């Protein structure tokens, strides 16, 4: 499963770079960035929409039909996207890759932000973190890099305690769950 996740990450990275390359050639990075942000908001706000795109049951033909039914650059009854984003969605669907759409869109955002010297960092904690602690983490990270830091805070009670920091493919997992898993693996190795 881990190898499959790594493969999907690499594949989504390639698609992100392709969209970034097209937007760079046309000097439309910011317009497409805004469009991608709007699409991501739709995914966040509509759970059914999100699940539909992640469905492993859809063939590439069904995925292409889904994209054609939902998105258009001319039809006002559909979700309006630019011709480049529509072409991007259709290529993903045609190749049966809609399940990596979200990671590709986030990857594109990260490429645009790194171009503008910004870094998105996903922070996962077991409980909501105070603004004071969030600012302390941000200042520590600012000392390590000369880029603007955007922290996206998530709460996941499954990590039990500690924090997980992720930026792109870099991951720092200082969660209690991770430490327990490591101890269990060591214990299994001893037996």
Paired tokens of 39 = 């699409």
pLDDT value of residue 6: 37
Look at residue 152 in the predicted model and tell me its pLDDT.
87
**The pLDDT value given to residue 4:** 37
CA 107 – CA 126 distance, rounded (Å): 25
The three-state (H, E, C) secondary structure of 22-68, written as one string: HHHHCCCHHHHHHHHHHHHHHHHHCHHHHHHHHCCCCCHHHHHHHHH
Q: What is the pLDDT of residue 117?
A: 76
Residue 167, pLDDT score: 82
Helices assigned H by DSSP within the chain: 2-25, 29-45, 47-54, 60-70, 83-94, 101-115, 131-144, 176-190
C-alpha 111/C-alpha 18 separation (Å) is 11
Helix (H, G, I), strand (E, B) or coil at 102: helix
Residue 40 in contact with residue 122, Cβ under 8 Å?
no
Q: What is the pLDDT of residue 174?
A: 92
d(CA 103, CA 189): 35
pLDDT tens, the chain, 191 aa long: 333 333 457 888 899 999 999 988 888 888 999 999 999 998 888 888 778 887 878 888 988 998 999 998 888 899 899 999 999 999 999 998 888 888 899 999 988 887 777 788 889 999 999 999 999 998 888 888 777 888 889 899 999 999 999 887 788 999 999 999 999 888 887 76
pTM, two decimals, is 0.59
Q: Burial level of 61, CB count in 10 A (0-12/13-18/19+)? A: exposed
What pLDDT does residue 160 have?
Answer: 93
- Tokens 């880029």 correspond to 147
Its sign, for the CA torsion 106, 32, 138, 154, is: negative
92 and 104 Cβ atoms separated by less than 8 Å: yes
């Amino acid at each position: 499963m881990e190898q499959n996740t790594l493969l999907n990450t690499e594949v989504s990275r390639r698609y992100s770079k392709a969209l970034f390359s097209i937007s760079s050639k046309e000097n439309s990075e910011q317009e497409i960035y805004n469009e991608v942000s709007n699409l991501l908001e739709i995914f966040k706000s509509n759970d059914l929409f999100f699940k539909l795109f992640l469905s492993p049951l859809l063939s590439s033909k069904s995925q292409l039909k889904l994209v054609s039914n939902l998105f258009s650059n001319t039809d006002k009854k559909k979700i309006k996207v630019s011709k480049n984003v529509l072409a991007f969605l259709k290529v993903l669907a045609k190749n049966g890759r809609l399940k990596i759409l979200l990671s590709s869109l986030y990857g594109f955002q990260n490429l645009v932000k790194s171009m503008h010297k910004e870094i998105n960092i996903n922070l996962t904690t077991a409980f909501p973190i105070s603004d004071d602690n969030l600012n302390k983490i941000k200042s520590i990270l600012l000392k390590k890099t000369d880029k603007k830091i955007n922290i996206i805070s998530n709460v996941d009670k499954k990590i039990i305690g500690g924090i997980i920091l992720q930026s792109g493919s870099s991951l720092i997992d200082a969660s209690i769950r991770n430490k327990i898993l490591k101890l269990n693996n060591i214990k299994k190795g001893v037996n």
